[in-house]
Every structure is written in structure tokens, then in C-alpha cells.
Amino acid sequence: MAAISREEVAHLARLSRLAVTDEELDRFAGQLEVILQAVARVGEVAAADIPPTSHSVPLTNVLRDDVVVPGLAREDALSGAPDAAEDRFRVPRILDEEQ
Amino acid sequence: MLIKTTATELGRRLAAREISAVEVATAFLDRIGAVDERVHAFLHVDAEGALAAARSVDEARARGDELGPLAGVPVAVKDVIATRGVPTTCASKILEGWRPPYDATIVERMRQAGLVILGKTNMDEFAMGSSTEYSAFGPTHNPWDLDRIPGGSGGGSAASLVAYEAPLAVGTDTGGSIRQPGAVTGTVGAKPTYGGTSRYGLVAFSSSLDTPGPCARTVEDAARLHSVIAGHDPRDSTSIPAPVPDVVAAARRGAEGDLTGVKLGLVKEFAGEGAEPGVIAAFREGVEALLKLGAEVVEVSCPHFEYALPAYYLIAPSECSSNLARFDGVRYGLRVGDDGARSLEEVMSVTREAGFGPEVKRRIMIGTYALSSGYYDAYYGQAQKVRTLLSRDFVRAFEQVDVLVSPTTPFVAFPFGSRTSDPYQMYLADLYTIPSNLYGGPAISIPCGLSEGLPVGFQIMAPTMADDRMYLVGAALESTLAPPTPPDL
């Protein structure tokens, strides 16, 4: 269990939207292998019937009163954007030329 | 000397008008100017903002306004916490220069209490690490030995205290990021109950674990800052709607040094494992000191604690891989490679590649792996079940004892570079701190002597929403030990 190939790391990097270099792929493959082997120890615990804990506070469906409160002003929301146009976030093209 | 005065005492002298908030802020800003080139506790010093805040406290006092006990006392803020108009980078290139358009709830509460924000402190990138060596802007140096790490992720906050650059600081603790820096710098670091302090305005790392809390030089100072920042916040859906325990009263009572009837639990599974002999020796002296104050010691078994580290290093990276998806080069921060030819996805990938450091990338990929179909049940799902079992260990232990005690971290401050080549060696720093994060209960690190001339931390873990207990025992321990005296810088 937990042997991870260079190709798998490349796949993970793609899923993670990280344009990693070849040199990083080599290094990360070894490091992720060590980490995954260590964390795989959770498998030693017999826990088939145990409910999972997602967080420690026993609260569900926390809602606030439906009262209008001021939000961020548009210029504040856009203030940190790397690129904005016409009061919107400007993004690189999302469609290929032929689409 | 003003800069060596405790926050509690500064508050008292400010209230008595013996000193002004501007004088206090100036003293700390001068100190930062004198030593921070060597310590590098700060990523950003907001001298202008600090002096303006100090002036307004002085004016309010002159008007006779009702002010809190920390009004006019300076505080340093970890750079993962949003401060309106003041750079908040998480020590990452991807957020370099970002100025949040809003304040975190805890920042808002500190401002309302009249605390004066000096600036933003260094940390491991996105709070992932135990040494500040993963900061994109260079590490913080431990004032006890400038060639050694100050702990992490909140090494800047802890170092600012021990370098006398600030009397108080705030940090965030996901797996030990307040307590381990406290331990290796000889300062007090407290992780409140998860949900006891608001996460609104923290840049999220692992949402089910992230907990902001106080860093200070004394237990009472930590308790005072705790009481300012804690309490229910409707803007955080995991904030606990219950009153905050009176931690200040508990710290004061503890300082009287009577622990008659208090039961301390020693975790059998922690006995000696992985810790340096000097750390174990100092910890045992701490236990002896508490026994002399009337406490009893009971050995308890927490069989799942040995799986805390692997469970954490699945849960935290899984949550991080999801949380850090927001750094897409669209709404804030860095954008690289937007040349008109590249697609959105390509721009995103080269931006994230350029903006994130190696540890962040590793964790994003580990989390992506643990959450992917086919591996989910064996990794993330199984880790969540272990989390349940570990929490039950705590509940059972607290049926027998009032608090659990352990060393805070297995080793004293280590030299730079000694744990970066094998990332898992860095993770071992969190061996004793992680269980409380997974369970959600509060825990504090108290300075407890030295090993090889470097500070050792004594950890006290309490049941959820019994934060007062750790302050009681912590203050008692502090009252009976010699205070740590860092070398002059």
C-alpha cells in the first residue's frame, strides 16, 4: 500500500492545478511516498462500525435570522483582484478558439 | 523597562495614567526597529496604524471613557489573520501585498478592547510547518539562539514576545502552531476550545481544526487576551453559543499555588516515546512541582493517541487541498502567465505553481490523494473514524482526571535546516499537540525549565469548554518555577 509512482504524482499535480516541474516531480514522488506510508498507519485501527467525526462541535444547520446586513462594497471586493474590468473580476479565456 | 513589563501591568499603569498608550507603542516600535533585523518576527510593521490606535486610546481615556483592562496595550498579529487595509500574506508569495477589505472577528474584538496592533508576524506558509522555515519571506530566528528555529507555524508571534518586541500576540493553532512555538521560545501559548474563538477572518487551512488563541509571556496575560478574543460569533457557523469560562479568574486563582484535589492525568501512551531525555527530565520536574502544590497524578490510557499524527496528516491536508483551491488567481493575490494565449486552467496552474512553496504543494497533493475516489475510505474516511475513537479516549480520561499533562513538543528548538529535507521529521514536532486539535479541547503550553540551555514546554490539556482549568493549573505551575530569562539580544 501507498507506493506512489511519478505518474501518479503528475496526475495529482494536474488535479491540484499545480504546473510542477520535472525536478519537483522526482522530489515529491519520494517525499509523498514517505508521508503516505506513515499516514497509512490509520488502517491498523479497527474502526469499521465507528462513525466518522468531521468536526468537534455538535452543531448542525446553523442559520442566522433572515435580516439584511451590509455586505462588502463592490470596490472593496474587487480591491485585491489581479485584474478587474467593468466592476467584475476579469478572467483568462475559458473556451477554446473553435468553441 | 517598559518593553519587559507584562501586559497586565502595562494595562494597570495605563489605566492609572502613569504612562500613555503612545509611549508604550513607541517603546515597542523602537524595539522592533532595533532587533527585528536579526529576529525577523514581523512581516509587516504598521507603525502608523499603531500610533493612531494608541492616540485614540489616550484621547478616550482623557475624555473619561470606560476602557477595558488591556486598552493601550500593543499586540502582534499572525499574518494568517485578516486585518483591514494591512497586508495579510500568510507568508506566501501567492498573497504578497494583499490588503484584506475587512477585519477578522478577533481583530475587531481586539480593536474594540483598545489593543494596539503593531504589525503582522511571520509564520510557515499558510500555517503549515513547525519552524517558520516554510515562510516564503525567510525564517524567524529564535531569540534564545539565533541559529535555531522559533517553532511554527506561529514562530513570529512567539519570537516577538521573547524578543520584547510585543507584550502580547495572537496565533492560530491547527496542530500545535501556538503551543509548540510557545514551548521552544519559553513563552505561554494557549489553544482555546475549538469553536470558542471565532475563525471568521482567518485564512482557512484546516477548517475543522483551526483555532485562534493568545500568546503571552505570562499565564495571566494569556488569559486576559483570551477573554478579549473569545466568545460566540454568528459569522462562524462552528462558533459555540455558550459563555466563555472565566479564564482570568482561573489564572489568578492558580497563581495562589494551591492545587489540592486537582487530578492530573499522565498519558501512558506518551511515556517517553520520541522525546529528548532533557525534555522528559524537565517535564518530570514540572509534574513534581505540581505534586508539591497538592495535585494528584493518575496514569490514564489513551490507546488511540498513537494514531493522532497519521490521522492529522490526512485530515489537515485533505481540508487544506479544498480550502486552498480558492487561490486561483482570480479574486485576490498573484496571477502569473495571463498572456492571452493561456486558458483559465493553465493560468491557474502556473499561478499556483509560482505562488505556493514546497510544503504547501505537498499537502495539497496529499489531501487530493486522500480524498480521491478509491482512496477516500482507506485514508480520509478512516482518519475521521480514528478521530472519533481518539475523542472518546479524551472523554474517558476526563472521567478520571481534571486535566492531562505532557511535554508540549518532543524536542527543544532545533538548528535551521535539520528537519526540512525529510518532511515527516518536521511533522513529529506535533506529536503531543495534535490530539487536542482532533478532539477539540483546549490546551496550553507553559515554560518549564531548560534542556541544553533551551526552553521546554509543559502542556496541559482540558475538556472542551473547560479552558479555565488549563489556566488554573498553568498559573500554578508558573508560580512555582523560575521564569525563563532569554539572553539579551
Query: How many C-beta neighbours within 10 Å does residue B97 have?
Result: 12
Residue B415 pLDDT > 60: yes
Q: What phi and psi, each to the nearest 5 degrees, are found at residue B459?
A: -100, 135
Query: What is the structure's pLDDT at A57?
Result: 87
Separation between Cα atoms, residue B413 and residue B451, nearest integer Å: 10
In the predicted structure, residue A99 carries a pLDDT above the cut 60: no
| B322 in contact with A, Cβ within 8 Å | no
Between A59 and B70, the more confident residue is B70
Q: Which residue of B101, B348, B427 is in closest CB contact with A77?
A: B101
b (16+ CB within 10 A) / e for B385-418 = bbbbbbbbbbeebbeebbbbbbbbbbbbbbebee
Tell me which of A98 and B198 has the higher pLDDT: B198
Question: C-alpha distances in angstroms, B101 versus A81, B205, B260, B261, B353?
Answer: 12, 20, 50, 50, 26
Please report residues of A whose CB lies closer than 8 A to that of B427: 35, 38
- How does DSSP assign B343-357, residue by residue? -HHHHHHHHHHHHS-
pLDDT at A96 exceeding the cut of 80: no
Query: What is the DSSP code (8-state) at residue B113?
Result: T
Q: Out of B8-12, B281-285, B370-374, B421-425, which region has the weakest mean confidence (pLDDT)? A: B421-425
Among candidate residues B92, B135, B177, B436, the one labeled active-site is B177
Contacts of A56 in chain B (CB under 8 A): 194-195, 208, 391, 438-440, 464
B208·A92 Cβ contact <8 A: no
Q: Which residue of A has its CA nearest to B206?
A: A55
Tell me the CA end-to-end span of chain A in Å, nearest whole number.
Answer: 43
Cβ under 8 Å to A: B residues 196-255: 207-208, 234, 237-238, 240
- Per-chain mean pLDDT for chain A: 91
- Mean pLDDT throughout A59-73? 88
* Confidence band for B368, pLDDT divided at 50, 70 and 90: very high
Q: Which of B197, B366, B438 to mutate to test the interface with A (most CBs of A within 10 A)?
A: B366
* DSSP 3-state of B461: strand
pLDDT digits (tens, 9 = 90+) for B120-131: 999 999 999 999
Please judge whether A16 and B321 are an interchain contact, meaning their C-beta atoms are less than 8 angstroms apart: yes
Q: Could you confirm whether B177 is annotated as catalytic?
A: yes
**pLDDT surpasses 70 at B263:** yes
CA nearest to B236 within chain A:
A62
**Chain A residues touching residue B440 (CB < 8 angstroms):** 55-57
Average pLDDT over chain B reads 97
Q: Which three cell numbers stand for residue B124?
A: 510557515
In this prediction, residue A2 carries a pLDDT of 53
Indicate which residue of B130, B153, B206, B406 is catalytic. B153
- Tell me the nearest-neighbour CA distance from B203 into chain A, angstroms: 15
Which has more confidence, A18 or A1? A18
**What is the pTM (predicted TM-score) of this model?**
0.97
Over pLDDT 90: what percentage of chain B?
97
What ipTM is given for this predicted complex?
0.94
Q: Is the predicted pLDDT of residue A1 greater than 60, yes or no?
A: no
B93 is a catalytic site residue:
no
Q: Kindly write down the DSSP assignment for every residue of A21-47, as one continuous string.
A: -HHHHHHHHHHHHHHHHHHGGGGGS--
The pLDDT assigned to B290 comes to 98
Bridge partners of residue A31, in order along the sequence? none
Beta strand pairing call for B188-191 and B296-300: unpaired
Across B366-374, average pLDDT: 95
d(CA B91, CA A85): 28
Does B303 lie at the interface with A, CB-CB under 8 angstroms?
A: no
Dist. CA A39–CA A56, nearest whole Å: 21
The average pLDDT across B377-382 equals 96
Nearest-Cα distance to chain B for A73, in Å, is 9
| pLDDT digit string, tens, across residues B426-436 | 999 999 999 99
DSSP string, B360-407: HHHHHHHHHHHHSTTTTIIIIIHHHHHHHHHHHHHHHHHHH-SEEEEE
* Residue B172 pLDDT: 98
| Beta bridge pairs of residue B74 | B116
B299-337 pLDDT tens trace: 999 999 999 999 999 999 999 999 999 999 999 999 999
Report yes or no: B382 at the A interface, CB cutoff 8 Å. yes
Quote the pLDDT of residue A97.
59
